[in-house]
């Protein structure tokens, strides 16, 4: 009996992620095997097949176990019936002994086979799920942030957890679906062998059964979706109130808010009752119709018994076969499990078909200074060209500020400069080596990033700063934190650098400083700061800016900046406008241009907004 009247659409398993592929994405589908497999099959099917292949032995074993169990199930009523006939026989059950033993053996076999199948099913599901998840995460990490951006983070999690688990159930579901057909079909055949008339009665009743079941199941999806809509509205109101927590706290209106959020609870309750009513109707349908069908078989069987054409044992067997054959309805649940599996696999496969980022194996020249060159770089985002034919050379060891109005392509340039994204056209070279030809480990050792809203990893604050391609010494971590203006507030945390991240609620400014510290601790020949000081006050920003030149390992710095002071401190300013380089030069020279000054006049407002609104980190 299914006990889940509602379908959980809330976890995003309904197959629509709402984002779709960005139009500029390369659309050539690549197999989950990295393009090695060239068949016209659906990626979901290919993934499921790969999962089944990965657990081929176990899947086969489950199939065999289930088949054997089904065989025992089907043999049992006939043997049971025959044994009963022998026992009821005039000779007082003579010769029934071996048959009795056979009965016992069949029952034992069925139970044991089921137990082993249960064990194997559980472990196989776990195994394929783990396999899919590992593969999914590896792939996600290889795809990189730019191409993965088409999926929202929550959506990615669903694809890797819930969807992968459901897809991981596929091998077992395939085995289950194959064998769940065996018992009812075998029972029908056995019924026909026992008595053709009874099989005919059963078959005549089936269409009626199907029709009536359908009638009973009507309207269930409608009531469920209404229920979910009301539920969604309540959740929406709660989200609003939580976002306004400061106002609610200040106004002392918690009770009012609670009442407002729960205002539609009675309606939810009413819709909920409706779903139970609808669901109950469906249960009543199958609960009444299936026994009626077997009773009909029994009635005809009884008449044939009275006519001497059937023994008591055969009637017992037929009765049992009829109810086993009526279990054909159970196939639908197995099939729907498989369908769900496939839908889930499709969502996981969507992730796996995003092409991986390719890498070369080259190294950087050991004596390089961090000379960065962009040659004819063009970048497209969401169908819009955000960088057009950018040529730029940054001499090694210099600090370059990238300025421009919002939407002028600064962040895209920053992402491309350190290969967080690839340009649609053009090349990027570091010390003469194209970034896409570099060994990824070497690339990340030498190129560092700090962001406006960094995401921190690690169990403690110290680990979060040390997080990276390699682990710096604790002294280096603290030095980096000092340079980033983070040391003081970290020391004030309950356990200093050992404070768990979860126990260290960080403000935007503190988060930024830890992100800067992380970048400083791993600084190589190129450091890119993408709006990484926007939440710092002017004084702290100045201190960090000085530390960057004095205390952090020397190298090239590319700084996306909104403030005049940042531009003024840089050796060189790259002024972007509409995706093109408008001018490159020292700040003092550019400051003479009214248009250049206007960039900052406009930016003052925007930067202030961005600093407080906490624009998406992506």
Binding span for another protein by CB under 8 A among 181-189, 269-277, 367-375, 475-483: 269-277
* Cα-based distances in Å from 468 to 419, 463, 515, 524: 16, 9, 11, 12
Contacts 24+ apart (CB under 8 A), 405-411: 405/577, 405/599, 405/602, 405/603, 405/606, 406/603, 406/606, 408/576, 408/577, 408/578, 408/579, 409/379, 409/576, 409/578, 409/579, 410/530, 410/531, 410/560, 410/576, 411/530, 411/531, 411/560
Binding span for another protein by CB under 8 A among 53-61, 200-208, 301-309, 548-556: 301-309
d(CA 249, CA 445): 46
Q: Integer distance in angstroms from the first to the last C-alpha of the chain?
A: 45
Is 219 a binding residue for another protein by CB under 8 A? The answer is no
Give strand pairing partners of 580. 577
Q: In 3-state terms, the chain is what percent helix, strand and coil (to 5)?
A: 60, 10, 25
Bridge-based pairing of strands 425-430 and 372-381 is antiparallel
Is 508 a binding residue for another protein by CB under 8 A? The answer is yes
Is 550 a binding residue for another protein by CB under 8 A? The answer is no
Our CA angle for 163, 165, 168, nearest 5°, is 110
Name which position in 56, 211, 312, 498 contacts another protein (CB under 8 A): 312
Select 44 or 80, whichever has its Cβ closest to another protein.
Answer: 80
Closest CA to 325 of 438, 204, 240, 224: 204
Select 40 or 92, whichever has its Cβ closest to another protein.
Answer: 92
CB of 93 to another protein, least distance (A): 5
The contacts of residue 186 (CB under 8 Å, 6+ apart) are 70, 71, 73, 74
Name which position in 64, 189, 305, 331 contacts another protein (CB under 8 A): 305
Binding span for another protein by CB under 8 A among 34-42, 181-189, 358-366, 436-444: 436-444
State which of positions 105-164 bind another protein (CB under 8 A). Answer: 107-108, 110-112, 114-116, 118-123, 125-127, 129-130, 133-134, 137-138, 140-142, 144-145, 148, 151, 153-154, 156-157, 160-161
Bridge-based pairing of strands 399-403 and 384-394 is unpaired
Name which position in 75, 200, 335, 456 contacts another protein (CB under 8 A): 456
Is 598 a binding residue for another protein by CB under 8 A? The answer is no
Select 222 or 609, whichever has its Cβ closest to another protein.
Answer: 609
The contacts of residue 292 (CB under 8 Å, 6+ apart) are none
d(CA 399, CA 604): 22
Give strand pairing partners of 380. 385
State which of positions 484-503 bind another protein (CB under 8 A). Answer: 488-489, 492-494
Select 38 or 246, whichever has its Cβ closest to another protein.
Answer: 246
CB of 423 to another protein, least distance (A): 17
Calculate helix-pair angle for 97-148, 43-54, nearest 10 degrees. 130
CB of 556 to another protein, least distance (A): 16
CB of 403 to another protein, least distance (A): 12
d(CA 261, CA 257): 6
Name which position in 52, 167, 435, 443 contacts another protein (CB under 8 A): 443
Select 48 or 80, whichever has its Cβ closest to another protein.
Answer: 80
Is 306 a binding residue for another protein by CB under 8 A? The answer is yes
- Counting residues that bind another protein (by CB under 8 A) gives 169
Name which position in 11, 33, 391, 473 contacts another protein (CB under 8 A): 11
State which of positions 381-400 bind another protein (CB under 8 A). Answer: none
b/e burial code for range 322-356 (CB count within 10 A of at least 16 → b): bbbbbebeebeebeebbebbbbbbbbbbbbbbbbb
Select 388 or 467, whichever has its Cβ closest to another protein.
Answer: 467
DSSP H/E element including 583: strand 580-585
State which of positions 326-365 bind another protein (CB under 8 A). Answer: none
d(CA 107, CA 85): 18
Select 375 or 445, whichever has its Cβ closest to another protein.
Answer: 445
Name which position in 59, 78, 173, 279 contacts another protein (CB under 8 A): 279
Beta carbons of 543 and 482 less than 8 angstroms apart = no
Beta carbons of 69 and 113 less than 8 angstroms apart = yes
- Hey, what are 81's tokens? 């019936």
Name which position in 176, 418, 423, 472 contacts another protein (CB under 8 A): 418
CB of 38 to another protein, least distance (A): 28
Is 542 a binding residue for another protein by CB under 8 A? The answer is yes
CB of 287 to another protein, least distance (A): 6
Name which position in 20, 280, 358, 395 contacts another protein (CB under 8 A): 280
Give strand pairing partners of 427. 375
CB of 100 to another protein, least distance (A): 6
Select 16 or 269, whichever has its Cβ closest to another protein.
Answer: 269
Is 100 a binding residue for another protein by CB under 8 A? The answer is yes
State which of positions 27-86 bind another protein (CB under 8 A). Answer: 80, 83-84
d(CA 407, CA 405): 6
Select 203 or 262, whichever has its Cβ closest to another protein.
Answer: 262
Select 302 or 368, whichever has its Cβ closest to another protein.
Answer: 302
Is 457 a binding residue for another protein by CB under 8 A? The answer is yes
- Hey, what are 64's tokens? 């065999």
Binding span for another protein by CB under 8 A among 192-200, 362-370, 381-389, 463-471: 463-471
State which of positions 223-252 bind another protein (CB under 8 A). Answer: 231-232, 234-252
* Cα-based distances in Å from 147 to 24, 192, 357, 614: 10, 59, 9, 22
Name which position in 500, 543, 571, 582 contacts another protein (CB under 8 A): 543
CB of 522 to another protein, least distance (A): 7
Select 199 or 322, whichever has its Cβ closest to another protein.
Answer: 322
CB of 319 to another protein, least distance (A): 7
Select 359 or 580, whichever has its Cβ closest to another protein.
Answer: 359
Is 525 a binding residue for another protein by CB under 8 A? The answer is no
């Amino acid at each position: 009996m299914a006990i889940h009247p509602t379908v959980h659409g809330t976890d995003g398993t309904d197959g629509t992620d709402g984002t779709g592929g960005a139009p500029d994405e390369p659309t050539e589908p690549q197999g989950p095997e990295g393009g090695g497999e060239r068949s016209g099959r659906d990626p979901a099917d290919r993934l499921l097949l790969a999962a089944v292949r990965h657990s081929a032995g176990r899947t086969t074993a489950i199939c065999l176990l289930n088949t054997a169990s089904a065989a025992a199930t089907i043999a049992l009523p006939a043997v049971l019936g025959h044994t009963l006939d022998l026992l009821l026989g005039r000779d007082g059950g003579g010769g029934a002994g071996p048959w009795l033993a056979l009965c016992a053996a069949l029952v034992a076999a069925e139970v044991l086979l089921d137990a082993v199948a249960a064990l194997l099913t559980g472990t196989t599901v776990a195994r394929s799920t783990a396999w899919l998840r590992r593969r999914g995460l590896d792939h996600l990490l290889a795809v990189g942030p730019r191409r993965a951006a088409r999926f929202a983070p929550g959506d990615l999690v669903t694809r890797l957890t819930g969807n992968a688990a459901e897809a991981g159930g596929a091998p077992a579901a395939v085995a289950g679906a194959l064998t769940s057909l065996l018992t009812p079909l075998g029972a029908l055949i056995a019924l026909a062998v026992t008595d053709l008339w009874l099989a005919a009665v059963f078959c005549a009743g089936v269409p009626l059964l199907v029709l009536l079941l359908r009638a009973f199941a009507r309207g269930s999806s409608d009531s469920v979706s209404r229920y979910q809509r009301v539920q969604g509205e309540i959740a929406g109101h709660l989200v609003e109130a939580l976002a306004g927590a400061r106002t609610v706290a200040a106004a002392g209106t918690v009770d009012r808010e609670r009442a407002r959020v729960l205002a539609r609870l009675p309606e939810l309750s009413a819709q909920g009752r409706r779903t139970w009513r609808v669901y109950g109707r469906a249960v009543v349908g199958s609960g009444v119709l299936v026994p009626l069908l077997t009773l009909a078989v029994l009635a005809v069987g009884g008449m044939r018994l009275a006519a001497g054409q059937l023994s008591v044992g055969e009637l017992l067997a037929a009765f049992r076969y009829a109810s086993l054959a009526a279990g054909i309805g159970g196939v639908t649940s197995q099939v729907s499990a498989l369908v769900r599996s496939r839908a889930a696999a499709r969502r996981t496969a969507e992730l796996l078909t995003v092409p991986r980022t390719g890498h070369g194996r080259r190294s950087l020249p050991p004596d390089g200074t961090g000379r960065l060159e962009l040659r004819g770089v063009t970048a497209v985002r969401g169908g819009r060209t955000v960088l057009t034919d950018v040529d730029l050379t940054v001499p090694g060891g210099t600090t370059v500020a990238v300025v421009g109005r919002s939407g002028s392509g600064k962040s895209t340039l920053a992402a491309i400069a350190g290969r967080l994204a690839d340009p649609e056209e053009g090349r990027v070279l570091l010390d003469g080596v194209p970034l896409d030809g570099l060994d990824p480990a070497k690339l990340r050792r030498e190129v560092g990033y700090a962001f406006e809203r960094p995401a921190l990893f690690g169990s403690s604050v110290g680990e979060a700063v040390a997080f990276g391609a390699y682990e710096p010494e604790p002294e280096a971590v603290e030095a980096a934190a000092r340079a980033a203006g983070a040391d003081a507030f970290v020391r004030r945390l309950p356990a200093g650098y050992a404070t768990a991240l979860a126990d260290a609620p960080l403000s935007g400014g503190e988060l930024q400083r830890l992100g800067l510290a992380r970048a400083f601790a791993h600084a190589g020949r190129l450091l890119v700061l993408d709006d990484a000081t926007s939440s710092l006050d002017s004084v702290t920003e100045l201190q960090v800016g000085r530390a960057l030149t004095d205390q952090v390992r020397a190298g090239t710095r590319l700084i996306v900046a909104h403030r005049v002071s940042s531009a003024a401190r840089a050796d060189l300013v790259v002024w972007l406008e509409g995706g093109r380089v408008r001018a490159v030069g020292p700040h003092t020279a550019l400051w003479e241009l009214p248009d250049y000054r206007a960039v900052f006049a406009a930016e003052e407002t925007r930067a202030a907004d961005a600093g407080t609104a906490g624009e998406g980190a992506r």
